[in-house]
Every structure is written in structure tokens, then in C-alpha cells.
Structure 1
Amino acid sequence: MYDLTARKTVDEVSVAGGVRYVVWSQNGVYVAFMSKHNVLLAGKNLEYYHSFHENIRVKSGAWDENGVFVYSTLSHVKYCLPNGDSGIIHSLANPIYITRVHKQIMYYIDREQKVGKQRLNCSEYLFKLALHKRNFNDVKLWISNGRLCGNAVIGYLKSKGFPEVALHFVEDQQTRFNLALEYGHIEEAMTAAQELDERSCWNRLGLEALRQGNQQIVEMVYQKTKNFDALSFLYLITGNITKLRKMLKIAEMRGDVMSRFHNALMLGQVEERVKIMAEMGQVPLAALTARAHRLTEYMEKLEEFHGFPVG
């Protein structure tokens, strides 16, 4: 960039392969430099944005009204955004020379010097542009009306840090669950898990909820999977003694001796522990426990009913 009045270079940018064509956007904000195999995008003061290398020759290009550069090679029409995103719009049977792109219509000249125009499918790059500008209403519009599909778009949303948009896009519940879990969207993951209703999903949801400290969902998952031991421990560490007492009663109703003993241990109910050990035939242990905690009444009963010399 040269200042004619001051006769000095104001700014400069290096383009690999030498510059063949220079194309400015209509508003003068962007400029594209094209060499034989490279396209470089810069700002109005030649601040470098991104460059793209092509294995086959770059022939021509034009800016559309949205600030997207559309260019042609010998075999494809492609696009590139100032933020570095690029892609293929469609392939070409014969080379063309683009003169203008406006309102999703491309004007060009072919090698027979005939002027033509063609409607472009710009859904992909308009979707990416809307996402870059954080126009989420337009993003949803392009997702629903632009026939965008496939794991490539989902992967793009993930790579750009917009998993919540990807969640709106995905319909498969397993994919939604994996995506929500990967990015910590615990409520979305729970909704998908309820639809799937598989034990493996519930277990994964419980681990993530536990990592986030979401007590309510952890409790719900443990109840759903009937993980009674983990549920009792959850009530212990959260100080929910009322529900821990209920877990003791449930263990007794289920006939689970170990669970019953663990709940009694966590509740600090020595009498219950003595009672359990005595019922299971562990009279010496029951007697020692009663003696250690000075439970005279239980010591006498053990001696009376089991004939064990407690003293």
C-alpha cells in the first residue's frame, strides 16, 4: 500500500508465489490477493487474515455482499471466510472466470467468452458466517432450511465451541446424549438418557453429575439403577440422615444383610449392628461390640438367649 502524496510505503503484505490478481470487496473492508496456487485474505490496511493453498491453479474470484470470497480453480468453485473457514461450493466441468457474486448468484465468463450466471448453494458458508458473527437466529434458520446435515457439521460446531447449537441440530438421542455429556450439558444429557433408558447411559450420566456436584441428578440416577450402596453413601456425605434411615429400612425389607449393616454403621446405630451380628450367628462379635459400647441390656440378652459368657 503506497501513499502517493507522501511517496512512501504505508503497509505491506507478503504473498507466496507472487500476486496475479487483486480483488477488493465492495465496501473496501477486505482484499484478496491471488497467485498461481494461493489465495490470501487481508483487511483494508493489509492486516493479514488467512491464506489458502490450492494444488491446482486459482483462476478468479469475487467478494459477495456478506464479506465472503468466492473463487474458482480449474475444477471447483470454492469459498473462504476472513476467519479462516473454507470449503467447496460445487465442481466445474469447464473453467470459468468469476466477475461478480451477489445475492447467491454468481456471474462469470467462460473460455468461449460467453457471459453466464448461476445460482449458488451458499447455505454452508452463510451458516458458518452467521455462527462466526453469533447471529444464532440465522444459525437456526440455516440449520432448519439449508439442508445441512452429517457429522461434518456437528464436528464443525464442536470444534468452534458451540455444542449447544449442535444439540439443537442433532435428532439422534444417542448422539445427543454423547454430545451433551462431552460438554457438560447435564440437563440435556438427562433428557436424552430418559429417552434411551439404558443402564450404561444412566451410569455415565451419574458419573458426570457427580463430577459436577449435581446432587439431585446423582440421587435420581442411583435410584433409577438401584445402586443402593452408592445411594447410602451419597446421603452420608451430604448429611441427609432422614433418607439414610429410610435406606436402612429398605435394606431390611430387601433382606440385604451387608447393606443393612453398612447403613447402621454410617448412622452410628450400634444397637442395630449388634442386633444384625447376633441374628447372623456372629454372637462373639455382637457381644464384643456391645461390651465396647457399654450396652448392658444387649450384653445380658446375648448371655441369656445365646448362652455366651459376655463378662
Structure 2
Amino acid sequence: PEGRRSSGLNAIWVARNRFAVLDKNHVILIKNNKNEITKKIQLANCDELFYAGTGLLLIRENDHISLYDAQQKRSLASVRIGKAKYAIWSNDMNYLSLLAKHQLVICNRKLEQLCIIQENVPVKSGAWDDSGVFIYTTSNHIKYALVNGDHGIIRTLDLPIYITKIKGNSVFCLDREVRPRLLTIDPTEYKFKLALINRKYDE
């Protein structure tokens, strides 16, 4: 099939055959696979879109993120966070981590805030592991965050890295030169805390 082009600030899939485009006038255009506009959503302050599953969008407006129903054209919920750079869903889509420059906010699927973590140095990246723990990086550390707000340092870094995936005790990441790297972490501390929270005392 022939490729089709159009301009936009950002594009996110909202269904198997539909995607949302944020245009330069901050209008959200819902388009089909033929790049035809099927719906327009006018939101004056929207400056970024993030993925939120079928029929939904995460919309960044000023100092908050909204969960927006693209079908019904209405906001379902919102959470305050200073200029979020990344929105990272857990594998089961039950939890969401929003990353701002010095802040990490973890929410549930309904965008209810579960915890907020402040950092003195910039938050760089993050990913969820299979057990529902958020692993993230700052300029000089790999850290963990549990959904109850408990957090800590896993290991120190010599240079910043950008996490792409967590699998067991392996951290798949990119360095500043965008070279793939594989680091090993010791998950003992956060696995122990997670077991206590989940009352799995045999672990």
C-alpha cells in the first residue's frame, strides 16, 4: 500500500484502524487508515498526547493530565503533574506512571493518584517490571517505586541510561549515544517489600 503523509505534532493509535493527531492549532483529529478525518476535538490548552488504550487518550494540558474519551468527546478524570514528559503503562494497563522533570506520579487505570515521588535530579526514563514495580532512572541512579509510594535506590550509574524494558533482573536500556545496553540489577529489596505489601510471607 502507498504511504500517506500529513503534518502534526504527535500521533497516537486509539483503535486498530483509527489514530489521533494533534495538529499545530492544538486540535485533535481522529483519522482512519486512509488518513481521512473522521472527528475533530477542540481543546485549547492541549500540547501533548499519550497512549491510553482503545478509544481513549491521555491529554496534557498546562499542569495536569486528563483521561479523555475520544468517542464521547469528554474528560473522564484528571491528575495534577508539572509538565509530564512520559506516560508509561504497566503491562496489564492497570497502573500508569507519569514522569515530569523532577517528579514521578503513579496512578491507577481511572487516573486516581496513588503516590507522588519528588526527585532532586531529573527523572530520565522508566518501565514496569512483570510484578508491577516501576523501575526508573535519574541522572545517576536506577531506582524502584511501588504503587504505595515506597521507593529506593537499586544501583548507582556512571552515566545516564534510558530504560526500554525490564525482564527479571535484566534492564534493557539505551545509553546517551543510543547504543543498546543490558544491565543487571538485584531486585531483592523491592521484591521483599512487594511480598510484604501483598502479604506473601513465604516469599
The interval holding the TM-score normalised by the smaller chain is 0.5 to 0.7
Higher helix share: 1
- Look up the match of 2:15: none
Aligned amino acid, residue 135 of structure 1: K
* % identical aligned pairs: 39
Counterpart in 2 of 1:97? 162
Paired with 1:86 and 1:115, the residues of 2 have a C-alpha distance of 26
| Match of residue 40 from structure 1 | 105
Find the aligned partners of 1:120 and 1:74 in 2 and give their Cα distance. 17
Structure 1: gaps (5+ residues): 139-311
Letter in 2 for 1:3: D
- 1:222-241 matched pairs, under 5 angstroms: none
TM superposition shift of 1:112: 1.4
Alignment of 1:294-309 (within 5 A): none
RCO greater where, 1 or 2, for CA within 8 Å and sep 6 or more? 2
Q: Residues of 1 paired with 2:94 and 2:102: CA distance?
A: 24
Tell me the distance in 2 between the aligned counterparts of 1:90 and 1:103.
15
Alignment equivalent of 1:9, drawn from 51, 55, 75:
75
- Give the structure with the higher percent strand: 2
Q: How many residues align?
A: 137
- The Cα of 1:28 is off from its aligned counterpart by 0.3
| Residues 174-222 of structure 1, C-alpha deviations (whole Å, 9 max, x = no match) | xxxxxxxxxxxxxxxxxxxxxxxxxxxxxxxxxxxxxxxxxxxxxxxxx
Which one has the largest radius of gyration?
Answer: 1
CA–CA distance in 2 between the matches of 1:67 and 1:104? Answer: 14
1:135 to 2:203 alignment: no
Secondary structure of 1:125's match? helix
Which residue number corresponds to residue 115 of structure 1? Answer: 180
Q: Distance in 2 between matches of 1:131 and 1:73?
A: 26
Aligned to 2:61: none
Shift of 1:77: 0.5
Match for 2:128 among 47, 63, 66? 63
Q: Deviations over 1:242-282 (max 9, x none)?
A: xxxxxxxxxxxxxxxxxxxxxxxxxxxxxxxxxxxxxxxxx
Separation of aligned partners in 2, 1:38 and 1:83: 16
Cα displacement (A) at 1:113:
1.3
Among 126, 138, 145, which residue is 1:80 paired with? 145
So what's the TM-score if we normalise by structure 2? 0.67
Deviation at 1:135, TM superposition (A): 0.2
